Chain A
Amino acid sequence: MVEQVKGNVTAVLLLLCLVPCIVHADEVQVTGATGGRTAQDDSEYHPGFLSGAASIFPGVLVRGSGHYVAGDKDTAWDLFCIGTASLGVLAGTALYYAHSGASSRLSWPMVPVIAASGSGFALSWLADLYGSTVGMNRSHAGPYRGGGLRVRPFLGMVVVDDVQFEYSRFLHYGLEARYGAFSVTPMAWNALDDTNNRYLIETEIELVGVNGLVKKFESPVLSASPLFRYGYHDFEDDGFNKRWIDLCAVSTITLGSIWNSMRGAWIHYEIGYNREWVTFPVIPGDPVLTTDQLLFEMGFGVDIGRLSAPFGEVYVYYNHRRDDFTGGITGGFAGYVGVKTELRLRDRMSLKLGYSYGYAAVVDIQCAVRF
């Protein structure tokens, strides 16, 4: 086990030494990106404490309250419509689904609708809170355009607090490689205090966006990509191992390109399907159990610092899956919540911190170097 970890780490370190020689970093920020809709008159827009308080209450129920108090009635109306429509769809589908006794016949069409409408309701609140407190005070930065090959190896530690398993500390490392619209990220988790090992490779092709493969739909507002994951996780001491695939559609919407008050903010969605094959060597005949689940993640992110030169970002999210280290918050339906942060310490080096809370609590600390 220790030898395996040493070998993997050595490979990563070698890769770290090699990549500066082979990579030509070419990433530029899109300039002159289309700005979002402004308030009727910027001088009338005054985000601050009062509007922030209004975004909390009555904003927690009535979306757009913060923007309304701040003076941006157009954005307030947009948020009100999004929030109210989301709440309406959420209430209608959730109530009917509950009435059906969570019918398995309705689950696949209805649970994604419940999740999407619930996220619309939640994200419109975060957008109101953000835009009515700091949003308008920021300059607008467009999304990044990646040109040549960009490689970003990372190395870190994952701490897992899960009463069900012996492991608690993992060495976590991988390599994110991006070339134009294509990206591939192999990564690994090796337990330092158990025999547990997890490997994952993630591939994404950006179809729509500033790096989009389909130039016809190049957009600074929206990026959309299919995403594929293949993973293997060995719970040797617990008598099983599993392989899985994820087929997803991911999308990021740059809110600042739609509403000026939300410059520096974005939302991220992921929806897809997971299939898992679990093998039990401890059961005679090595039976394989096949399971599946809905994949869904929604989150809200903001840049930190001046947007002309942000030094990091924060992203809060909800993830519906229950098969990774974190697991679901409760029995039945719910996944977990988390926050991810990236801080650019130097020109090419950044520190990533993540915390997720569900059945288990997981802390992820990584150092990444961009080449």
Chain B
Amino acid sequence: MIRKGMITLLLLLASGCAQEPTDYSELDLSVGHGSVAGANIAISGGLGAILEMRSGYIELWLQSPAVTVTLDLAGSAVEDWRIVLRNAVTGMTHLNPVAVNSSTATQAGTTYTVDINAAAGGSYALDFSTVDVTATDAFSFAVLSDIQDAIGDVGDIYSIINGDASLRFVVSAGDLAHDGTTSQMRRFRDVLFQLNIPFYGTPGNHDTYDGQYAYWRTIFGRASFTFRYKGATFIFADSSGATIEERVYGWLKSWVPASGSDVQFFISHYPAIDPCGARNGGFSSRNEAYKLIAILGGGDVEAIFNGHIHSYYHFDTAGIDTYISGGGGGHPELYDGVGRHYLKVTVNAGSGSYSVSRVDVD
């Protein structure tokens, strides 16, 4: 009797539920799409969050220095629109103003505003970027991650970044706030207005502690996305759960080979493999980590930028240059001689080269 009971119990156990797969990446699919009063808007690649949309007014938070905004106007839609682009790259311009009657555009800091007049009943693709978006001469960007509970102190890093005119934008591997509450994330974005160049990031585990997966998409946009700028491809993948969702792997497989001869950078929060094996601060599954490396290496990604570990590491991952930089101000790793810092990356897509230097703040 006991034996039968044990066998039954074990079979029940064996058929027990598996870990429910998460599907937060589905939230990315709706980012950058909206409609109001006969007008539909779509941002190419979902590269922006719609902060506000009402008849005649659209306010977006951009996730790329180059975006195409498609405006479909029904016959009943208004024709005069003000488009406000926040988190815009310095020198942004409307590249194809002929299609619409574009009046004067202004830029203050990272906010670009343009008024257009577009006939109702038409569809308009509006390209916004810098005039040199397709040039392959050198440019620089910064990598800053793991700010966490130092939101109030990050202004000094922003000041140093603002003082470097060669930097076009900042990319981040996440952990912008400590617990990812809406108030913390809102505060982070408020402080971000001290920065004179745009900030593009993917969330870290601290940004999702509070379960605010949807809120990230509301204020910043997608968690996994890609853009091209001046011959370089930037690929952001959400690894805030120490894994990358199956759907995102599908995207990665199309994003990585699509860039062809570009210099390719991959930005994600968790390192696939922690170089310190006892600590194991990488992906939950090492087999998944190797799968990711195979995709990135097979697609000729040049460099990986991770955060999560509050120090600085530079190592080789199966031929891919890998940087862990978590110097934004989160509780630091001790005994490593590394304090708060960010990375400055200079890319010359024309020669297919790049260089990385660490800028120490403390």
Contact = CB atoms under 8 A, between A and B. Distances in A.
B287 A100 contact: no
B70 to A, nearest CB: 33
A103 B336 contact: yes
A304 interface: yes
B318 A289 contact: yes
B10 A327 contact: no
B293 to A, nearest CB: 7
A330 B242 CA distance: 7
Contacts of B19: 161, 357-361
Contacts of B280: 293-294, 320, 322, 328, 332-333
B20 to A, nearest CB: 10
Interface in B119-175: none
Nearest to B309: A102
A359 B284 contact: yes
A235 to B, nearest CB: 7
B109 interface: no
A332 B287 contact: no
A32 interface: no
Interface string A210-239: 000000000000000000000000010011
Contacts of A351: 7
Contact of A239 (B18, B21, B295, B319): B295
B13 interface: yes
A284 B11 CA distance: 46
A163 interface: yes
B293 A331 contact: no
Nearest to A296: B278
Contact of A101 (B291, B294, B331): B331
B290 interface: yes
Interface string B1-41: 01100110011011111110100000000000000000000
A197 interface: no
Contacts of B13: 339, 353, 355
B276 A164 contact: no
Nearest to A312: B6
Nearest to A282: B298
Contact of B319 (A240, A283, A325): A283
A164 B6 contact: no
B89 to A, nearest CB: 32
A202 B291 CA distance: 26
Interface residues of A, number: 65
A241 to B, nearest CB: 9
A111 B278 contact: yes
Which of the listed residues A162, A293, A355, A361 has the most CB atoms from chain B within 10 Å of its own CB? A293
B284 A329 contact: yes
A111 B279 CA distance: 7
A239 B298 contact: yes
A278 B290 contact: yes
A332 B246 contact: no
A327 B2 contact: no
A101 B242 contact: no
Contacts of B249: 164
A361 B279 contact: no
B260 to A, nearest CB: 15
A133 B192 CA distance: 59
Given A280-B294, A282-B294, A333-B281, A163 B246 contact: yes
A353 B14 contact: yes
Interface in A338-368: 339, 341, 343, 351, 353, 355, 357-361, 363, 365
B290 A333 contact: no
Contact of A102 (B17, B18, B295, B333): B333
Contacts of A305: 2-3
A152 B120 CA distance: 80
A333 B18 contact: no
Which of the listed residues B13, B242, B280, B335 has the most CB atoms from chain A within 10 Å of its own CB? B280
Contacts of B336: 103-105
B318 A288 contact: yes
Contacts of B205: 331-332
B56 interface: no
Which of the listed residues B3, B242, B249, B287 has the most CB atoms from chain A within 10 Å of its own CB? B287
Contacts of A355: 13-14, 16
B16 A280 contact: no
Interface string B232-263: 00000000011101100100000000000000
B350 interface: no
Contacts of B273: 289, 291
Interface in B192-250: 205, 241-243, 245-246, 249
Contacts of A312: 3, 6
A105 B294 contact: no
Interface in A253-303: 274, 276, 278, 280, 282-285, 287-289, 291-294
A332 B242 contact: yes
A238 B249 CA distance: 12
Nearest to A159: B14
Nearest to A163: B21
Interface string A99-126: 1111111111001100000000000000
B340 interface: no
Interface string A158-180: 00011111000000000000000
Given A164-B285, A164-B291, A331-B241, 14 more contacts: A101-B334, A103-B333, A104-B275, A104-B311, A162-B285, A165-B287, A282-B298, A283-B298, A284-B300, A304-B2, A331-B205, A333-B280, A357-B18, A359-B19
8 contacts: A161-B19, A280-B290, A293-B278, A331-B243, A353-B13, A355-B13, A357-B19, A363-B15
The 9 closest A-B CB pairs, nearest first, are A331-B242, A327-B285, A239-B294, A361-B18, A283-B297, A161-B18, A101-B333, A292-B277, A104-B276
